[in-house]
Amino acid sequence: MNLTVRGHRVLVQTLDQSMTEAADGLIVVHAYAPDVMGTIVAVGDVSEVAPGDVVIFPPSAGQVVEYQDTRYLSMTEDEILAVVEDESHE
């Protein structure tokens, strides 16, 4: 990737949240599922998170950036609500 992030911003590649699997194995497809989880792919100069971290953010966070046919969100680090510690989401 040839993108450089500045300041307290992070670049997040969102994870597909349009499908979930219920405990009984039923797969549910949501018609409208806002992006609220993603993997950090780049960080700015000063950051408490790192590339590879899976984060949760509100649906209103960031600005959409399209680069080389991939959709990213550029957001401030303050918009991140939590870092997922469970590696099963990666």
Tens digits of pLDDT across the chain (90 residues): 577 888 889 999 987 656 666 677 776 655 555 678 899 999 988 788 999 999 999 989 999 988 888 889 999 999 999 999 875 545
Cβ atoms of 20 and 51 within 8 Å: the answer is: no
Domains and CATH numbers, the chain: 9-89 (2.30.33.40)
Query: 61: burial class by Cβ within 10 Å (0-12, 13-18, 19+)?
Result: buried
Sheet containing 82-84: give its strands across: 63-67, 70-76, 9-14, 37-43, 54-56, 82-84
pTM comes to 0.72
Q: Which among 40, 41, 33, 38 has a CA at the least distance from the CA of 17?
A: 33
The tokens describing 83, both together, are 């870092």
